[in-house]
Amino acid sequence: MSYVYDPENIFARILRGEIPNKTVLETAHTLAFHDIRPQAPVHVLVIPKGAYVTFDHFAAEASAEELVDFHRTAAEVCRLLGISPGDGAAGYRTLSNAGENGHQEVPHFHLHIFAGRPLGPMLAR
């Protein structure tokens, strides 16, 4: 695997504090914030603070501490936003785009969390 991370991507700039964001939750290794162009009533992005380009890059190379922190933060975001079926809510969708076919715009790994309305079938046909 050979990923080259672009330190000037927009999420790297958010992590450096160069661009503001509407933070939902921040931990030692993870940041969750509202998407600037929400595609659902709830649209939050969860990103690791480390320099990972895609899901598979993060999953293969992040430390155990980073991996656990990322997932526990995403779970806490679901709890905080009141969207978890485990709390009796109507649920949500997570999505991560990678590369050209995945239509990834920002080359820093991020998990989208969509909620707040019925989200329809998984992919447009």
Residue 113 CB, shortest distance to ligand 5GP, in Å, is 11
Q: Which helix (H) or strand (E) holds 14?
A: helix 10-15
Please name the residues in contact with 49: beta carbons below 8 A apart, sequence gap of 6 or more.
15, 28, 29, 30, 31
Token match 């820093």: residue?
A: 108
Query: Which one among 3, 106, 116, 119 touches ligand 5GP, defined by CB under 6 A?
Result: 106
Q: Does 97 bind ligand 5GP (CB under 6 A)?
A: yes
Q: Does 36 bind ligand 5GP (CB under 6 A)?
A: yes
Is 71 labeled as catalytic in the residue annotation? no
Q: Does 104 bind ligand 5GP (CB under 6 A)?
A: yes
Catalytic residue positions, numbered: 110
